[in-house]
Structure 1
Amino acid sequence: MLQIALPNKGALASDTVELIQAAGYKCRRSGRELRIRDTDNQALFYFLRPRDIATYVSNGVLDLGIIGRDFLNEQQAGLEEILSLGFGTARLCYAGPRDRNLTPDQFDGLRIATSFSHLVSADLKKRKIQAEIVPLDGAVEVSIQLGVADIIADLVQTGRTLEDAGLSVIGEPILHTEAVLTGRTGTVEAKSAAGLFVRRIQGILLARTYVMIEYGCPRSSLERVCEITPGIESPTIAPLSKPDWIAVKALAKREEANQIMDDLERLGATGIVITDIRTCRI
């Protein structure tokens, strides 16, 4: 049976369950269950603290896990990033008092509070900076006010928490993070159920990226409309009962859909319909 670790709380938890359910697996908890068995798909989902997931997967207790790239890289558990999942995006950044106007080159001798000691140490080493790391677990913004640290390194999404604390980002991000599917090297190839899980998740991610565009147009416009909607390999083209008209169907990037509709209309296309895709495999 395939065993997968999921975050039991935090920013990734609800989006993770939504993604896996969309892929056809049963993993929603009714309460505070630690595990959910999906008998139909021969899968067992464990709900664990995000910081513990890499440990269980790297030790071979569980097959796959979903965690943030920040935790994956911080824990150095020897796991591979199998898929990036497109949610839970954030930046690991340095931040300090807004009125100090610091740059990372000025960190020598300063105290840096963070929950990501390994990533920060590696970044400081790369910069050849000698600074003291103050390990903390969450809510590091207050460490400056309490005199424990001079600056912090923490995850930033909107930046509102920093702003409320009178802090601002310093320099470029140390890491861009998001939710990722992780596992030991070779797990997907060695275990067919793991490979199927990955393909299903890929199908949902592709469906979130693309839409299906369908329309009719004069045959004389075919070459030009195909340049606008080339599809993945090529569009599907079929004749219509109306002489010299054809029907065209193609996948297109979701973010480009409205512009594509405008361009097709200018070329004389009609009956333009854009629909969401539930899942797909390419």
Structure 2
Amino acid sequence: MSILKIAVQKSGRLSEKSLQLLADCGIKISNGERRLKAVSPNFPIEVLFLRDDDIPQYVEEGVADAGMLGENEVWEKDKNVTVIKKLGFASCRLSLAVPKDANYAGPQYFSGKKVATSYPVILQKFFDQNNLDTAIETISGSVEIAPAIGLADGIFDIVSTGSTLQINGLKEVEVVTKSEAVLISNPNLSAEKQQILDKLLFRIQSVKNAAENKYILLNAPDKAIPEIIKILPGMKSPTVLPLAEAGWSSIHSVIREDAFWDIIDQLKALGAEGILVTNVEKMIL
């Protein structure tokens, strides 16, 4: 029986989120002893725990069939892999930053200067697109200290909240690109492994659908049902059940979480009462 080998980051928040996603998909993985690989007892996959910047190469070479990692590492390593799914977590931006007292007026600021980064490939593309003659100092580890020690005039790095930049006396001036966790695969999977990957993708999509939607229940006067249905279409149409009190019904539907607060006032204006909103564990369309 074929087993799909999937690489995830061996530690850190992205690793935790990746393993949580597999758990939400009903896939059991145990790595309690910090092993470098673990086989699921209830789904045909083997998880390899690797450095995130090594994952594209391992997937390209077929050591791993698929991988979960930040899309920024996919761009930086530029390997022959296929991005097949954005996973919706580990969102960040890759930005240029300069000393907070610098007089920054646009990308031309970097012309003739030096920028320190761990992502020289992504950064060079940005400088090329803007016709900037800028030197890139490639370093690993914490790049925020580079301007303070005179190694560079600015930095290019991952930014989440910006607090690390502030602590080091820097300010974010250009968002070059945005990144999030993605699922990649080797473009030449066997038919058996592709079938396993498709099953995994189905489960991931069901989990993502559930995370993006809420189940809503409410009571409303029967005369308001046509208008309520217009704003609560559900997956196909809402479920409407009569209540014991004549002239009233219970309406059950599914709505996108980001739309709920925009329509709650409309529902109340139409006479809706007893509105309950709950999480959806899985959602299969």
TM-score by length of 2: 0.92
2:246 counterpart residue number: 243
Q: Which residue pairs with 2:209 in the alignment?
A: 206
Q: Secondary structure at the match of 2:171?
A: strand
Tell me the C-alpha RMSD between the 2 structures. 1.8
Local SS of the residue matching 1:142: coil
What secondary structure sits across from 1:280 in the alignment? coil
Aligned residue identity for 1:269: A
Runs of 5+ unmatched residues, structure 2: none
Measure how far apart 1:110 and its partner are. Answer: 0.8
Cα distance between partner residues in 1 of 2:203 and 2:281:
11
* Cα-to-partner distance string for 1:66-108 (whole Å, 9 max, x where unaligned): 0001101111112222221221111100001111122211211
1:39 equivalent among 25, 29, 41: 41
Q: Residue 20 of structure 2: SS of its match in structure 1?
A: helix
User: Residue deviations 1:198-229, cap 9 Å, x none?
Assistant: 11111111111110011222221112111221
CA distance in 2, matches of 1:99, 1:188: 56
Partner of residue 124 from structure 2, selected from 113, 121, 125? 121
What do the CA deviations read for 1:52-72 (whole angstroms, capped 9, x no partner)? 111111112212110001101
Q: Which residue of 2 aligns with 1:22?
A: 24
C-alpha distance in 1, partners of 2:189/2:70? 19
2:80 corresponds in structure 1 to: 78
The answer to which of 26-35 and 198-207 deviates more is: 26-35
1:109-148 residue pairs with structure 2 within 5 A?
109-148=112-151
Worse-superposed segment, 117-126 or 137-146:
137-146
Instruction: Name the TM-score, length of structure 1 as normaliser.
Output: 0.93
1:119 positional shift: 0.3
CA change 1:37–1:148 in 2 (3 A) is same
Aligned to 1:89: 91
| Aligned: 1:63 with 2:65 | yes
What CA distance in whole angstroms lies between the structure 2 residues aligned with 1:223 and 1:101?
59
Residue 143 of structure 1 deviates from its aligned partner by: 1.1
After the TM superposition, which residues 157-176 of structure 1 pair with which residues of structure 2 at under 5 Å, given as runs? Answer: 157-171=160-174, 173-176=175-178
Shift of 1:259: 4.5
Q: Which residue type is aligned with residue 91 of structure 2?
A: T
The CA deviation string for residues 240-281 of structure 1, in whole angstroms up to 9 with x for no partner, is: 444343332211112333443443222112232211011111
Name the counterpart of 1:98.
100
- 2:281 corresponds to: 278
Give the Å deviation of 1:235.
2.1
Q: Which residue of 1 aligns with 2:10?
A: 8
Give distance in 2, aligned partners of 1:216 and 1:87: 35
Distance 1:195 1:57, change over 3 A: same
Q: Which amino acid aligns with 2:35?
A: E
